[in-house]
């Protein structure tokens, strides 16, 4: 049965797939960033269809608004050097493993869809997905993982600093000294 919801889902899914493909395959980094933007917008649309309005809004503000813009800044700062030369090394293995992976993923999907019993997941309450209920969930039942995710963010920031700072104060290793020729006794 085709409902408006299904049509909406397929449109968003097709846009997301197209955007992802463009982001991966574009040689011009600006086009790649635009493909990413399409993917993010389509994902926000999918979230909306799941009644997750807050998540959709956050997706738009954080990813589309902040991260893609950051990418664009970096690409523009780098200028023409951001476009990489076409690299044909290992083309066949790359294409072969890509195709193999897609086939494996498709086989997995077919296997899952054909044999799946549809489990009715717990229904969503009326206010599901609103900022209000999201906040209540986050600070009540989900408090522990929320607090623990602080460690994850901290590690990510620290890791970025550690990797970015690496070049300063680090000198080339000294060449090793050769061993003296041994005297025969």
Partner 1 sequence: MPLALALSPFLVLGFGALLIMLAEAFGSRRGGMALGSTIVLFATGLTAAGLWMYGLENLKGLEAVAPWLLLDRFTLFFQMLLCLGSALAALTAGGYLPEHELDRGEFYALLLFATFGAMMVSASGDLLTLFLGLETMSLGAYAMTAFRKASPRATEGALKYFLLGSFAAAILLYGFALLYGATGHTDLAGISKVLRAGAVKDPMVVTSLVLILVGLVFKVSAVPFHAWTPDAYEGAPTPATTYMAVVVKAGAFAMMLRILLTAFGDAQSMSWSAGWPPVLAGIAVLTMTVANLVAGRQESVKRMLAYSSIAHAGYLLVGVVATMRAPQQAGASVLFYLLGYTVSTAGAFAALVLCGSRGRETVSYEDLAGIGRRHPAVALPLAFFALSLAGIPPTVGFFAKWFVFRAAVESGFYVLTIVAFLNSVLGAYYYIRVLVYMYMREPAVGAPVAVPMRSGYVVAAVILSAVMVIVLGVAPSDTLDVAVAAALSPG
Q: Which residues bind partner 1 (CB under 8 A)?
A: 108, 111-112, 114-117, 119-122, 144-145, 148-149, 151-152, 154-156, 158-163, 165-167, 169-179, 181-182
Nearest CA to 44 out of 81, 19, 26 is that of 19
Report, in Å, the least distance between residue 40 CB and partner 1: 17
Long-range contacts of 59-68 (CB under 8 A, 24+ apart): 64/37, 64/40, 68/33, 68/36, 68/37, 68/40
Report, in Å, the least distance between residue 153 CB and partner 1: 9
CB closer to partner 1, 4 vs 148: 148
Report, in Å, the least distance between residue 14 CB and partner 1: 21
CB closer to partner 1, 86 vs 117: 117
Report, in Å, the least distance between residue 56 CB and partner 1: 19
- Enter the tokens of residue 9: 């889902």
Task: Note the residue count of the chain.
Answer: 185
CB closer to partner 1, 65 vs 98: 98
Q: What is the spatial distance between Cα 54 and Cα 44, in angstroms, rounded to a whole number?
A: 10
In this structure, the number of other CB atoms found within 10 A of the CB of residue 183 comes to: 5
If you compute the radius of gyration of the chain from its CA atoms, what whole number of angstroms results?
Answer: 25
Report, in Å, the least distance between residue 123 CB and partner 1: 11
CB closer to partner 1, 4 vs 144: 144
Contact 45, 56 (CB under 8 A): yes
Q: How far is CA 3 from the centre of its chain?
A: 30
CB closer to partner 1, 88 vs 120: 120
């Amino acid at each position: 049965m085709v409902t408006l919801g299904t049509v909406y889902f397929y449109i968003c899914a097709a846009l997301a797939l197209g955007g992802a493909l463009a982001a991966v395959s574009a040689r011009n980094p600006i086009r790649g960033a635009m493909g990413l933007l399409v993917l993010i917008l389509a994902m926000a649309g999918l979230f909306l269809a799941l009644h997750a309005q807050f998540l959709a809004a956050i997706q738009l503000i954080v990813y589309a608004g902040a991260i893609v813009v950051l990418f664009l800044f970096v690409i523009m700062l780098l200028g023409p050097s951001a476009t990489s030369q076409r690299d044909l090394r290992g083309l066949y293995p790359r294409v072969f493993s890509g195709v193999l992976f897609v086939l494996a993923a498709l086989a997995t999907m077919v296997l899952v869809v054909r044999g799946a019993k549809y489990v009715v997941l717990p229904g969503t309450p009326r206010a599901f997905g609103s900022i209000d209920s999201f906040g209540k969930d986050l600070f009540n039942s989900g408090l522990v993982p929320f607090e623990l995710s602080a460690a994850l963010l901290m590690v990510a920031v620290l890791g970025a600093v550690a990797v970015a700072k690496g070049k300063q104060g680090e000198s080339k290793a000294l060449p090793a000294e050769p061993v003296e020729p041994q005297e025969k006794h």
